[in-house]
Amino acid sequence: MKIRMYLIFSFILVIMSILFSSCSGNTDLLKARKAFVQQASGNIAIGVVWPISEMKADMGFINGVEMAVDEINSEGGVAGQLLEVRLEDEKPSFNESMTIAQNFTLQKDIVAVVGYWEPYITIPAAKIYNDAGLIMLSPAVSNNILTKKGYKYVFRNTLSDNEMGKQISAYIRTKGYERAVVFYEDNDYGRGVAKSFENTFIETGAEIVDRATAFSNEIEFKKAYDKWTALDFDVVFMVDSLPSAAIFLNQLRSADKDIPVYAADAIDLDNLPLTLGEAGEGLYVATTFNINQDRAETQKFIEAYRKKYGLEPDTWAVQGYDSIKLLAHAIGQAKSTDPDKLADVIHNIRNWNGVIGNISFDAEGNMIGEGIFMKVIKERRFQYFDNK
């Protein structure tokens, strides 16, 4: 109990410090950053926060960031200034992550921060950055709340939970499925995507047979599966992450090897087919990147990535690469690293030619104009469908 009370007290202290700094010091940070821009002549610094320790098996995002920086600097940088990355490891600890955000705001030569994985860390960090006049670009966090605060300096260059759910639902309906079971992770991401999927599915005249989250044992799963069978379900939509997604798939495939299963992008990981093994065969996974997409920018990136790392790029490699390239484009267009000028440019980006596709932003800072691809696991490898 003492430990729990200490953690709660620590959490409250951090929140109070964020609110206090937002009300007092961050106006000064914005002024200081704008003043620094007027005399800055050194490298352009970009902060990158990514769960390196948690994702050791998939370093695609960091590789993508590195490759973009190397390319830009080999061509003379942006407006004659080289890019410099300051990398931080996103930790599960809320306190540590807020300290990273606050430290970045104190570094006046940092013009933008890219990254973050966990919504519970990203959303409060976004407030810190916005209040300090520091551009934040979120290539992974899809939580709808992130861009609903009216922030001027916060942008999302991935699909929102709402958009992901809608697009997967629409895709599944084109396949003729009408009676879905929704299995979701009981967190903001799982609930958000599931709700959007369900609303869209029902609007088309289809039916949600049941919705469920993790089962505590095989008996509980068997009862649920018998219910689904009695209600004549014809498809499963899964919004979950590893390792719980793998546990559910093994339970489901032990009972039914043929029911089609579609998954949201939380498990869009390059090593997923090998991780899931036999249970993953036939699993459809939503993604925003198709390695077979016939676009010059996409194929140029893939060839360069293979040459540099000897690996196939995944979605996160693309997100890391596009994030840095997009920021460099915005700095070039603004002819400045002034946060207000940069924010105005990014808000008005229309059809920027990235690896992922043509990117635009809406008034809230959301990426628009991009759709999903669907890929399926066959013989423990991903195969893509050109369905964007």
> What is the per-residue pLDDT for 31?
75
If asked whether residues 138 and 171 sit together in one domain, one would say: no
Total domains in the chain come to: 2
234 has a pLDDT exceeding 70: yes
204 has a pLDDT exceeding 70: yes
pLDDT, tens only, 27-40: 677 777 776 776 66
16 has a pLDDT exceeding 50: no
> What is the per-residue pLDDT for 226?
98
If asked whether residues 127 and 171 sit together in one domain, one would say: no
pLDDT, tens only, 356-386: 999 999 999 999 988 899 999 999 999 987 5
If asked whether residues 302 and 154 sit together in one domain, one would say: yes
pLDDT top residue among 271 and 202: 202
If asked whether residues 18 and 140 sit together in one domain, one would say: yes
Is the backbone peptide bond immediately before 243 cis, with ω within 30 degrees of 0? yes
If asked whether residues 16 and 140 sit together in one domain, one would say: yes
If asked whether residues 231 and 154 sit together in one domain, one would say: no
CA pair distance 219, 197, nearest whole angstrom: 28
> Is residue 215 in a domain?
yes
CA pair distance 140, 117, nearest whole angstrom: 6
- Closest C-alpha among 95, 85, 93, 34 to residue 62: 85
CA pair distance 179, 248, nearest whole angstrom: 19
> Is residue 374 in a domain?
no
> What phi, psi does 236 have (nearest 5°)?
-120, 130
> Is residue 373 in a domain?
no
> Is residue 223 in a domain?
yes
If asked whether residues 154 and 242 sit together in one domain, one would say: no
Check residue 177 and report its DSSP letter.
Answer: -
> What is the per-residue pLDDT for 238?
98
15 has a pLDDT exceeding 60: no
If asked whether residues 77 and 206 sit together in one domain, one would say: no
> What phi, psi does 155 have (nearest 5°)?
-135, 150
26 has a pLDDT exceeding 80: no
If asked whether residues 245 and 310 sit together in one domain, one would say: no
Residue 262 belongs to domain with CATH number: 3.40.50.2300
Q: Tokens 């979701």, residue?
A: 184
If asked whether residues 120 and 183 sit together in one domain, one would say: no
If asked whether residues 271 and 314 sit together in one domain, one would say: no
> What phi, psi does 33 have (nearest 5°)?
-65, -45
Neighbours of 205 (CB within 10 A): 8
Q: How far is CA 332 from the centre of its chain?
A: 25
Lowest mean pLDDT among 27-36, 170-179, 213-222: 27-36
Give me the sign of the Cα torsion angle 156, 79, 85, 104: negative
The whole-number average pLDDT for the span 244-266 is 96
Q: Share the mean pLDDT of the chain.
A: 90
> Is residue 335 in a domain?
yes
Label residue 360 exposed, middle or buried (CB < 10 Å: 0-12, 13-18, 19+).
Answer: middle
> Is residue 380 in a domain?
no
CA pair distance 368, 383, nearest whole angstrom: 25
- Closest C-alpha among 348, 329, 352, 330 to residue 339: 330
> Is residue 386 in a domain?
no
Q: Give residue 239's domain range.
A: 162-287
- Closest C-alpha among 334, 337, 336 to residue 347: 334
> Is residue 96 in a domain?
yes
> What is the per-residue pLDDT for 352?
95
If asked whether residues 37 and 153 sit together in one domain, one would say: yes
CA pair distance 193, 164, nearest whole angstrom: 7
Spell out the residues 6+ positions from residue 156 whose beta carbon is closer than 8 angstroms to its own: 137, 138, 141, 142, 146, 147, 365, 366, 367
How sure is the predictor about 124, in pLDDT bands with cuts at 50, 70 and 90? very high
